[in-house]
Structure 1
């Protein structure tokens, strides 16, 4: 075609959209390419390559636009990846190509690295080689950046205003609610309630994740639940009817949390307790399971070998759970590790009966201690201090904004504000911890024996470790002898 018409312009088209919507069908990108192809036909140009960055922002430095980078590289070499010449570039608008000065400078340098190229956007054919066009482009970028920041600021203000009115601002249907984002979806809401209760009682996020996956629950975007998404659900202030922006509760003028228009799944007390539990375990990190190994058998590492060695010392090696042989009437057992692993391999205990004996002893011990643990936590005694701190901050801001009051200048205001804000933050944190203690105290009032069977393995192990240091298992001797519970010696924790 070039041999037949040396004046033919071989051009590339670049299309980009920041947000592809919920459907993710790339219809916006298709519309851009369709429009540019029609314009190229009118101009007698031939489209030889299409660059596409779908669902990617051009104003965020952290976002890498792969096809934009490829376009710059191809402009520098002068050909497309297939080897076709590049005589020009088309875009529906210049802000599709660049929104930051650095990108504009890089694009202009790559474009003008070869002579005679054409550029077309919504303003028609542009001469990027013209004197002063670089400055003109920078002005356009500055205006684009200004408009982007205005939109972001309006979005943030709108978001916060709606939050202060208690309106739902979720873009997607939150897990636990119907499509109206207000009414609860019963099955999901009940799963959240049970998860919150279990995490407060010691269950791990990993266990909740496996439970939800097994039940077939999916996220609002149609994906299976992972550790991170489960943690996000349980830490969301929406669960108790509150709104949070960047981790901080949205409050009214009296420092009270704004209550939203949607139905709450749990109480504020439960939410404070579950978020406190997650933070204790390092749950504010990168969203990966943390903590100790999740064991398969109840007493692994808790049982200690009590076999007396030839030198008169006790083995004291940690016993581990193992799968029992198929011909036995029980499914698992506990055994001391081999000598290469620091054990003596002389003690073996039937798993089901060992578990049953220790569980009954622990339940009895927990019931005995429940009375003291279940005492009502007294009311938070710093409510007045918090009220005074709020009033002080509000008064400081009022006097600073009051034009007639010359006592508070900018320097005085900004010197005193951080002190008051820090005081407020400390008091609110203290209140959260207090609410968590109250929730745990109420949980201690439940029927321990009745609720034991519904606990997860991690919860049971946590409860056992609260009252037991270890269980010394003495060997039963040679031969097939009856199970003897007297050979299990619990070592209880003392108050000290």
Structure 2
């Protein structure tokens, strides 16, 4: 075609959209390319390549636009990936190509690396080689960037104002609520409530994730639940009616958390408790912990108490094994073979061993639960927090005041971080105390009644809190009757 018509312009089209909507069907991108193709046909140009960055912002430095970067490389080499020449570029508008000065400068350098190229956008054919066009482009970028920041600021202010009014600002239906984002969806809310109680009691987020997957729950966007999405649901302050912006609870003029208009699923104490639990397990990250997932309750907790020929005790950790099919029980515990460091002399029936230790642990937990709540007194720093807030408010009043007591900007911004840091520390201490209080209240429940519904991980966590180990003494040769007296618990002391 070029041989037949040397004046033919081979152009490339660039389309971009920041948000593709909820359906993610790329209709906005298709509309842009369709419009550019129509304009190219009217101008007698031939579209030889289409670059597309769908659902990507051009104003955020952290966002990498792959096709934009490809366009710059191809402009520098003067050919498309298939080898067609590039005589020009088309875009619906210049802000589709660039919104930051650095991108404009890079694009202009790549575009003008070859002479005679054409550029077309909503303003028609533009001469990017014209004197002063670089400055004109920078002015346009500055205006575009300013408008973007205004929109972002208006959005932030709108979100905060709605949050201060206690209104829901969720873009999607939150898991646990109906489409109105206010009324609870009973089945999902029940699952969240049970998950919160179980995690506080020792269950892992991984177990909750597996449970929700097995129950067929999906996220509001229609995706299967993963560890991170479950964690996000469980630490969301919306569960107890609160709202958070950038990691801080939204508070009223009296510095109290604002309660939203939506129905709460758990109490604030429960939310503080589960948030502390999850962050503590991930050392502040909330990430799942490593380690083995055990199949049997007392694996690694039982230790062999057989006395060896030299008079020492074996003390090897016993392992759980699947019992033979002809036996009435399904698993057993045994000391490892000699080649694996054990003595292979101690064997315990699994179900009766588990039952005996569980009874001992439940009795111990019930005894401790009676006094546990008394060990967590009321938070004693409420007055200190109130004074710190009043001091910060007084500092702000004096900064805005026109009287003799007014302070200047330097004094205000020098002292403000001191008050803010102190308030933040006190609030963190208050949240930690609320979590301890919630755990103490949960410990007062009927432990024996709730024990059967606990997961294997929860039971192991509870056992390891009160037991260092259980020494299993050998029962002698032959088929002996199970004797719980041969199980010697080693209790943890308060130290």
Q: TM-score, normalised by structure 2?
A: 0.97
The question of whether the paired residues in 1 share the 8 Å contact of 2:282 and 2:288 is answered with: no
Residues in 2 aligned to 1:406 and 1:357: alpha-carbon distance in whole angstroms = 73
Structure-to-structure mapping, 1:154-233, within 5 angstroms: 154-233=154-233
CA drift at 1:384 = 1.9
Q: Partner of 1:394: helix, strand, or coil?
A: helix
Structure 2 regions of 5+ residues with no counterpart? none
Q: Which moved more, 1:370-379 or 1:90-99?
A: 370-379
Q: Report whether the alignment pairs 1:454 with 2:453.
A: yes
Residues in 1 aligned to 2:108 and 2:117: alpha-carbon distance in whole angstroms = 11
The question of whether the paired residues in 1 share the 8 Å contact of 2:329 and 2:351 is answered with: yes
The question of whether the paired residues in 2 share the 8 Å contact of 1:472 and 1:488 is answered with: yes
Counterpart residue number, 1:99: 99
Residues in 1 aligned to 2:48 and 2:492: alpha-carbon distance in whole angstroms = 77
Counterpart residue number, 1:324: 323
Q: Partner of 1:131: helix, strand, or coil?
A: coil
Counterpart residue number, 2:34: 34
CA drift at 1:230 = 0.8
Q: Report whether the alignment pairs 1:476 with 2:494.
A: no
Q: Partner of 2:436: helix, strand, or coil?
A: helix
The question of whether the paired residues in 2 share the 8 Å contact of 1:209 and 1:227 is answered with: yes
Q: Which moved more, 1:231-240 or 1:382-391?
A: 382-391
Counterpart residue number, 1:344: 343
Structure 1 regions of 5+ residues with no counterpart? none
Deviation per CA, 1:430-489, whole angstroms, max 9, x where unpaired?
A: 211221122112111111110100111111111111221110011223333332222211
Residues in 2 aligned to 1:290 and 1:439: alpha-carbon distance in whole angstroms = 23
Counterpart residue number, 2:425: 426
RMSD over aligned CA atoms reads: 1.5
In structure 2, relative to structure 1, the CA distance for the partners of 1:376 and 1:468 (3 Å cut) is closer
Deviation per CA, 1:187-246, whole angstroms, max 9, x where unpaired?
A: 000001001101111111111111111111111111111111111111000000000001
Counterpart residue number, 2:46: 46
Structure-to-structure mapping, 1:302-451, within 5 angstroms: 302-375=301-374, 377-405=376-404, 407-451=406-450
Deviation per CA, 1:159-180, whole angstroms, max 9, x where unpaired?
A: 1111111110111111100011
The question of whether the paired residues in 2 share the 8 Å contact of 1:166 and 1:260 is answered with: yes
Residues in 1 aligned to 2:284 and 2:471: alpha-carbon distance in whole angstroms = 37
In structure 2, relative to structure 1, the CA distance for the partners of 1:475 and 1:203 (3 Å cut) is same
Q: Partner of 2:374: helix, strand, or coil?
A: coil
Q: Report whether the alignment pairs 1:123 with 2:123.
A: yes
Structure-to-structure mapping, 1:4-43, within 5 angstroms: 4-43=4-43
The question of whether the paired residues in 1 share the 8 Å contact of 2:400 and 2:406 is answered with: no
Residues in 1 aligned to 2:340 and 2:396: alpha-carbon distance in whole angstroms = 66
The question of whether the paired residues in 2 share the 8 Å contact of 1:120 and 1:126 is answered with: yes
Q: Partner of 2:233: helix, strand, or coil?
A: helix
- Counting matched residue pairs gives 495
Q: Which moved more, 1:318-327 or 1:246-255?
A: 318-327
